[in-house]
Amino acid sequence: MRASQLYAPTLREVPAEAELISHQYMLRAGLMRKSASGIYSYLPLGIRVLHKIMEIIREELDKADAQEILLPIVQPAELWEESGRWNEYGPEMFRLQDRHQRHFCLGPTHEEIITALVRADVRSYRQLPLRLYQIQNKYRDEIRPRFGVIRSREFIMKDLYSFDRDEVSAQESYRAMYDAYTRIFARCGLKTHPVEADTGAIGGDQSHEFMVLGDAGEDLIVFCPDCGYAANVERAECAPFDSAGEQETLAELEEIATPDVTTVEELTRILKIAPGRVLKTMIYLADEKPVAVLIGGDYDVNEIKLKRAIQCNQLELAGAQTIREVTKAPVGFAGPIGLGIPVYADYSVERIVNGVSGANKEGYHLRNVNIYRDYTPAAILDLREARAGEKCVRCGKVLDQARGTEVGQVFYLGTKYSMPIKAHFVDQDGQEMPFVMGCYGIGVSRTMAAIIEQHHDEDGICWPVSVAPFAVIIVPVSYKDDEQRTAADGIYKILQDAGIEVILDDRDERPGVKFKDADLIGYPLRITVGPKHLKEGYVELKLRSSHTQLLVSIDDVKDQVESILDRIGE
């Protein structure tokens, strides 16, 4: 490809809308343009990178006995009603009607469609296991699209679904996909960390996320540098505390007037106590029934854990009206003593001796509140958000934390979808059995952004060879000069004939402009054809990521380029 014909409109300025480096460089290097909030058009260089990533995905999945298909983007509501997710999915789902007022959605995911497909055609255990995947656009109407393609409303995803006859076989599929993902991301030049994850809207009971660590990440993960345990904070388990705190004698319960004091911060300031001594009491509606959650004042409730621990479908913080009915006081004076609703306590509460809580009475708190003497929780559970400094549940060492971006996720679904929509096969002994399923996603457009986050410098992107839009760029200092043009054209032809993806910058631009564009776009290898070295029959090779330069005789260019690309491509 000649640069004079390449549609790659580069920008010198950093676009104001782009916070993340990857977002900035994708716009500046002319990989994509915004069409609407969270919706992008990919330009030639962008789509070339995406195709490279997709090819790596295809090769590794095909090796793992998966088969590619293509499912519809527009999906009928009936299937989603069968699985119960038409209502459950909420406002993130793009919904539409056809001219006959029939309801459809733009697929946010494809479990329903594929399960229905397989239900119709796969009847016998002999046809299993089956691993089917597609690479396609997905739609999620994010409340706040941001970070370019990292959180967008239309994005490219690879999704794979596995169908097995039993749990043992389904676990093998899970393992095979986990291993394929490890290879896919490594080949894309990405360092990823598999972490235990919550299963969220997809459901199921086992999941790993492949995270790319970095300050720009939207997710918070905790990990143990000692044993390798790592989990999303939504999911991370917290250990009970060793001892019951300081050995204090239980003091007498005492009511204290605290007019207008309704937050933990105000309370700790006025009473001069540590937040860890406050028994924070939160009132929730769990499936519309009020419950209280008691947690140390220095912690936050993890609502995902709470929902799972008390097994409710709908969970929300109670409003002022409910709080008044339940506590007989306005917001800010709730406490565990004498509440007529179930009180669930976090582990952090057990060690609080002579704590402070609301008195369930306007303008009052209680001092010296003690568990079991003054109140008894319905259960003591793991309800708090994990954080750095806590004990690892696996080995007891201290946890650390980091931010990360999820590029892939694997779910073990079991029979969550096959049971409700009656997707059955006939087993060896003639029994009708539901498929045991798994589903596996990779954010393809997001993977491109994550690669840029890990491979860039202040001048632009430094693509790994495996996903670079072109491997080599030839930059003649002046293409108008006869000698330089002849040499550059010659090298261009030799490299093209050798099957190397190469750009020739034949534009009538100053050398500085050409070098800046080459660095911004991030071709792994640059060949500079300049008057000084050309006299002796040499050109200059420069590696984008290491800035290494070497002079190479024109006769050796092809061999040198091939061996360098091989070496840095490993």
User: Which residues sit at the interface with Zn ion, rule CB under 5 A?
Assistant: 224, 226-227, 229, 392, 394-395, 397
The tokens for 486 are: 């002849």
CB of 231 vs Zn ion, minimal distance in Å: 11
How many alpha carbons lie under 13 Å from residue 510 in its C-beta half-sphere? Answer: 3
The tokens for 556 are: 């050796």
CB atoms within 10 A of CB 346: 27
Q: Which is nearer to Zn ion, 225 or 338 (CB)?
A: 225
Q: Which is nearer to Zn ion, 190 or 224 (CB)?
A: 224
- Asked if residues 149 and 155 have their Cβ atoms less than 8 Å apart, the reply is yes
- Asked if residues 442 and 502 have their Cβ atoms less than 8 Å apart, the reply is no
Q: Which is nearer to Zn ion, 2 or 397 (CB)?
A: 397
CB of 193 vs Zn ion, minimal distance in Å: 14
Q: Which is nearer to Zn ion, 193 or 485 (CB)?
A: 193
Residue 274's contacts (CB-CB under 8 Å, 6 or more residues apart) are: 268, 298
For the chain, report the end-to-end CA distance as a whole number of angstroms.
Answer: 25
**Strand extents, DSSP E, 165-298:** 193-196, 206-213, 219-223, 230-232, 254-257, 279-286, 289-296
CB of 391 vs Zn ion, minimal distance in Å: 9
Q: Which is nearer to Zn ion, 146 or 193 (CB)?
A: 193
Q: Which of 437, 413, 445, 407 has the alpha carbon at shortest distance from 132?
A: 437
Q: Which is nearer to Zn ion, 185 or 229 (CB)?
A: 229
How many alpha carbons lie under 13 Å from residue 527 in its C-beta half-sphere? Answer: 33
Q: Which of 146, 189, 191, 162 has the alpha carbon at shortest distance from 65?
A: 162
CB of 392 vs Zn ion, minimal distance in Å: 3
CB of 1 vs Zn ion, minimal distance in Å: 51
Q: Which is nearer to Zn ion, 40 or 229 (CB)?
A: 229
Please, what is the Cα angle at 248 between 245 and 251, to 5 degrees? 125
The tokens for 100 are: 């006959």
The tokens for 359 are: 């008195």
CB of 238 vs Zn ion, minimal distance in Å: 13
Q: Which is nearer to Zn ion, 14 or 227 (CB)?
A: 227
CB of 386 vs Zn ion, minimal distance in Å: 12
CB of 230 vs Zn ion, minimal distance in Å: 9
- Asked if residues 541 and 552 have their Cβ atoms less than 8 Å apart, the reply is yes
